[in-house]
Structure 1
Amino acid sequence: MQEAVEPLLRLVLDPGDTFVTRRTAEGLLRRKDRVGLTMVASALAVANDNHADWIHTAIVDVFRISSDDLDEALRLCEEMSGDTDDRVTRGARRLHESLAEIDPVLRPS
């Protein structure tokens, strides 16, 4: 829902509580879809170093298990890097960089 975008971004970038940052980012990423990834990418585009670190922790927590989920997230980030919104484009690149560093536990046999 469009009306949820700004409140969710404010939660991801909560200036007073990085626990809120981490948990909100984690919840959005656990959707494992373009909507959740776009929200996190938008936040990453403007996040300060402290918030970016907590968002990165959420990224690793969500995508470190399954290579299938990680591969799909990487694919979606590549799509988002061509978005018309510069904030999404910049954030998708940062998100892709974080995802690319992950070595998942489960891989197809």
Structure 2
Amino acid sequence: MMSGLGAALAEASSPSWPQRVRAGRDLASFADVPEAAEALVKLLLDVGDTAVIRQTAEALVRVGTVAAVRLIALAVAEADDQQADWLQTGVHDALVGPDGVLGVAAICGQLARDPEEAVRRSAAQVSAWVDGKGC
């Protein structure tokens, strides 16, 4: 499993956007591992391709852990308007359809008590995104 982590970390810095998308999906389940978390936040703020932002956010929501959603909140705190739009789209993508993920709003509620003010503020924003989407 750690070899998969190493390969995904290497892909996260690839100049190829499809490799970065794959890295975001592969790293999402390692959101609680510091090296993966750092790479994931960079992918959530990718300046090279919006697909990387969107699909990494979707993968993290589908993982559905506090650590995964916290990374989205951290990215929202640093995102420009365009990045925030693609983060929101990725969150929405994970919530729609028959496989929609439940519980993101509850996780955002937990993050409302996070020690970092930026996480608390951004979690409220993510929570607003999921309102009315079955959460």
Task: Settle same-fold status: TM greater than 0.5.
Answer: yes
Tell me which residue corresponds to 1:34.
66
Post-superposition CA distance 1:35-66 (Å, at most 9, x none): 11111111111111101111111111111246
Matched residues, number: 102
Structure 1 segments of 4 or more deviating over 6 A? none
> Match for residue 44 of structure 2?
12
Match status 1:99 vs 2:105:
no
Aligned to 1:57: 89
State which structure, 1 or 2, has the greater radius of gyration over its C-alpha atoms: 2
Asked if the contact 1:22–1:58 (Cα under 8 Å) also holds between the matched residues in 2, the reply is yes
The one-letter amino acid of 1:38's match is: R
Q: CA deviation at 1:87?
A: 2.1
Which secondary structure state, in structure 2, belongs to the residue aligned with residue 15 of structure 1? coil
Matched-pair contact (CA < 8 Å) for 2:61–2:101:
no
Gap regions ≥5 residues in structure 1: none
Higher relative contact order (CA 8 A, sep 6+): 1
**Cα RMSD between the aligned structures?**
1.9
